[in-house]
């Protein structure tokens, strides 16, 4: 089993670690701990385990770690290895009205696995392994705690070799359950789809311990609402995903690449739109604005588009023919060296600079949103200009990273610096930058998240983003988790443990 990459080390140890979020926390009664232990589940209560479970890759939490703090520690960490143990833990916590925060690799960047009210952190990494593979139907049953590299390695060794096609930036430290819980996207999503396109059915444990199975009996169904998609993206607020049935693909036999430069970001977006409109779906179709083109590729005064596709040779040739046809001088494009694609491949999962930037007093984060093609040029212009107008901003930029027939994802990056040592300024700037991106996104009729999810950071925006649909979500929460123990403090949902400490 893969050992998850540690979240950035905390600049403190043991009793020196402090909790940054000061909302209501819940301690565990001794009877509950005894009941959980009786299930055979591993319990961890040492300082290191609790501190690690108290944060994820939310950049603000990484900044706090540099100061010796975590957002909030659980009372204990519980690590089940079977669905029955998950059921037993949830049933016990439900009876005792103790919050449970599901987690695994903790690769999320929105604070979704932070136990903001203490209680129990439910570590699902013990649910590991591929259960079965149906090579004829191209499906696999997989346990939710399996890490990405382990899953791809296991699938690659079956028969002639298979792949899920899901390659997120967090690949080395994220799990299948995390991908499903947050509706994640891999970097090859334009060909393979997002995780919600890859899942056929789920095994889910509800708050009271009931185990339910959803869909998965055929490629499509009309057996009422799709309950699988109800839990996908719910981030552990409606139930805990323990297994999934997934669609597979044979390992691709051929691959080719392209790179182009465009005079404007808008021209590059238009070329991407036309490529998708004609039915071509290259695995990678990533467009960078001038700032990111220079920073990532040493290509000034241009907007770099990198293309990579992998599939059957006949399909590959047809896809590249469409791309070459749309990326011509008439579209404002010019060819660039293919080594740029190799450069991206070599650095695509590198997040090593994040912690040093925060330690240097620089507030940095990324906000990925998605919208229809018609809205994207204006949204890009407004967000970048508005971020640059915030006092203290050092840089604001964007790239398009996941494209579809009807629209695409824009990935905004911002960085700011204020007075040295002024933590209040850093948090104020961070909130203001996120408000700026989100306000513009909603004003343009776009979605406030494409694949990072909501977590803690975006919870304050979700009621506005969903509008009257938010009341439906509240009703679902009351139905599936009437006591309110599952991942409280997230999504802006009502909680018996009080308001979220980050809202």
Please give the radius of gyration of the chain, using alpha carbons only, rounded to the nearest integer.
23
Give the pLDDT of residue 119. 97
CA distance 159 to 43: 38
The region that residue 68 occupies, defined by phi over 0 for left and psi between -120 and 50 for alpha, beta otherwise, is left
Longest distance between any two alpha carbons in the chain, whole Å: 73
Contact 121, 222 (CB under 8 A): no
Give the pLDDT of residue 358. 84
Per domain, the residue ranges of the chain are 130-250, 254-347, 354-443
Task: Map tokens 């998708």 to a residue.
Answer: 276
Give the pLDDT of residue 228. 98
CA distance 416 to 422: 13
Contact 200, 219 (CB under 8 A): yes
Tokens, residue 419: 């007075």
Class of domain 254-347: alpha beta
Partners of 399 in beta bridges: 288, 411
Q: Are strands 69-70 and 362-372 parallel, antiparallel or unpaired?
A: unpaired
Q: Are strands 76-79 and 139-143 parallel, antiparallel or unpaired?
A: unpaired
Instruction: Tell me the pLDDT of the chain (503 aa) as tens digits.
Output: 555 555 667 776 666 788 898 778 888 999 999 999 999 999 999 999 999 999 999 999 998 988 889 999 999 999 999 999 999 999 999 999 999 999 999 999 999 999 999 999 999 999 999 999 999 999 999 999 999 999 999 999 999 999 999 999 999 999 999 999 999 999 999 999 999 999 999 999 999 999 999 999 999 999 999 999 999 999 999 999 999 999 999 999 999 999 999 999 999 999 999 999 999 999 999 999 999 999 999 999 999 999 999 999 999 999 999 999 999 999 999 999 999 999 999 988 877 777 788 888 899 999 999 999 999 999 999 999 999 999 999 999 999 999 999 999 999 999 999 998 898 999 999 999 999 999 999 999 999 999 999 999 999 999 999 999 999 999 999 999 999 999 999 999 999 999 988 88
Pick the CATH number of 130-250 from 3.40.630.10, 3.30.465.10, 3.30.565.10, 3.40.50.1220: 3.30.465.10
Q: Are strands 407-417 and 393-403 parallel, antiparallel or unpaired?
A: antiparallel
Nearest to 24 by CA among 491, 424, 500, 474: 500
Helix or strand run (H / E) with residue 464? helix 462-466
Give the pLDDT of residue 386. 98
Tokens, residue 481: 């988790």
Give the pLDDT of residue 392. 97
Q: Which residues contact 291 (CB under 8 A, 6 or more apart)?
A: 395, 396, 397
CA distance 316 to 274: 17
For 47-76, the three-class secondary structure string (H helix, E strand, C coil) is HHHHHHHCCCCCHHHHHHHCCCEECCCCCE
Nearest to 236 by CA among 487, 58, 490: 487
Contact 140, 248 (CB under 8 A): yes
Give the pLDDT of residue 68. 87
Q: Which CATH architecture has domain 354-443?
A: 2-Layer Sandwich (3.30)
Give the pLDDT of residue 355. 78
What DSSP state is assigned to residue 401?
A: E
Handedness of CA 57, 59, 64, 66 (dihedral sign): positive
End-to-end Cα distance, the chain? 37
Q: DSSP per residue over 254-320, as a string?
A: EEEEEEEEESSHHHHHHHHHHHHHTT---SEEEEE-HHHHHHHHS-TTSEEEEEEEEE-HHHHHHHH
381 C-beta neighbours (distance < 10 Å), count: 14
345 C-beta neighbours (distance < 10 Å), count: 14
Between vectors from CA 415 to CA 412 and to CA 417, what angle results, nearest 5°?
Answer: 160
Give the pLDDT of residue 12. 66
Give the pLDDT of residue 223. 94
The region that residue 203 occupies, defined by phi over 0 for left and psi between -120 and 50 for alpha, beta otherwise, is beta
Q: Which residues contact 356 (CB under 8 A, 6 or more apart)?
A: none
Nearest to 453 by CA among 444, 465, 439, 445: 465
Q: Are strands 240-247 and 249-250 parallel, antiparallel or unpaired?
A: unpaired
Give the pLDDT of residue 270. 98
CA distance 463 to 470: 5
CA distance 5 to 469: 37
Give the pLDDT of residue 8. 65
3-state secondary structure of 469: helix
Contact 283, 190 (CB under 8 A): yes
Model confidence pTM above 0.85: yes
3-state secondary structure of 200: strand
Q: Which residues contact 233 (CB under 8 A, 6 or more apart)?
A: 181, 182, 183, 196, 453
């Amino acid at each position: 089993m893969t050992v998850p990459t540690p979240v950035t080390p905390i600049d403190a140890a043991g009793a020196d670690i402090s909790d940054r979020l000061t909302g209501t926390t819940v301690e565990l009664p001794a009877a509950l701990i005894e009941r959980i232990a009786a299930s055979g589940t591993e319990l961890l209560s040492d300082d290191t385990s609790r501190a690690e479970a108290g944060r994820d890759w939310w950049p603000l939490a990484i900044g706090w770690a540099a100061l010796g703090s975590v957002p909030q520690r659980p009372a204990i960490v519980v690590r089940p290895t079977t669905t029955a143990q998950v059921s037993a833990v949830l049933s016990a916590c439900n009876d005792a009205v103790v919050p449970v925060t599901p987690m695994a690799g903790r690769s999320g960047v929105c604070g979704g696995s932070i136990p903001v009210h203490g209680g129990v952190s439910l570590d699902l990494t013990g649910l590991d392994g591929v259960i079965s593979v149906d090579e004829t139907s191209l499906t696999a049953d997989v346990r939710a705690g399996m890490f990405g590299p382990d899953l791809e390695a296991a699938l690659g060794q079956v028969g002639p070799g298979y792949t899920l096609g899901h390659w997120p930036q967090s690949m080395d430290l994220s799990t299948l359950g995390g991908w499903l819980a947050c509706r994640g996207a891999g970097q090859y999503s334009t060909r393979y789809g997002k995780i919600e396109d890859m899942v056929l059915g789920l095994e889910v444990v509800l708050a009271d311990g009931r185990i339910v199975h959803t869909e998965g009996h055929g490629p499509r169904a009309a057996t009422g609402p799709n309950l699988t998609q109800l839990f996908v993206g719910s981030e552990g607020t409606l139930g805990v995903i323990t297994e999934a049935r997934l669609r597979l693909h044979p390992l691709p036999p051929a691959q080719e690449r392209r790179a182009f430069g465009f005079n404007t970001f808008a021209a590059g977006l238009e070329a991407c739109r036309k490529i998708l409109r004609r039915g071509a779906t290259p695995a990678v179709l990533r467009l960078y604005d001038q700032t990111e083109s220079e920073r990532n590729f040493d290509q000034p005064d241009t907007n770099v588009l990198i293309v990579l596709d992998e599939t059957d040779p006949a399909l590959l040739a047809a896809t590249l023919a469409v791309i070459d046809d749309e990326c011509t001088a008439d579209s404002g494009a010019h060819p660039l060296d293919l080594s740029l694609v190799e450069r991206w491949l070599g650095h695509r999962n590198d997040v090593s600079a994040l912690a040093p930037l925060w330690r240097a007093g620089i507030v940095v984060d990324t906000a990925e949103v998605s919208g229809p093609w018609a809205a994207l040029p204006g949204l890009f212009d407004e967000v970048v200009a508005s971020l640059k107008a915030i006092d203290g901003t050092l840089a604001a930029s964007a790239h398009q990273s996941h494209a579809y027939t009807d629209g695409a994802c824009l990935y905004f990056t911002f960085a700011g610096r204020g007075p040295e040592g002024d933590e209040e300024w850093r948090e104020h700037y961070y909130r203001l930058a996120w408000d700026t991106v989100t306000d513009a996104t909603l004003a343009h009729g776009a979605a406030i998240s494409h694949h990072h999810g909501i977590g803690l950071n975006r919870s304050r925006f979700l009621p506005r983003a969903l509008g009257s649909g938010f009341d439906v979500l509240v009703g679902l929460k009351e139905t599936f988790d009437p006591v309110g123990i599952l991942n409280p403090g997230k999504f802006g949902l009502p909680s018996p443990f009080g308001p979220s400490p980050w809202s």
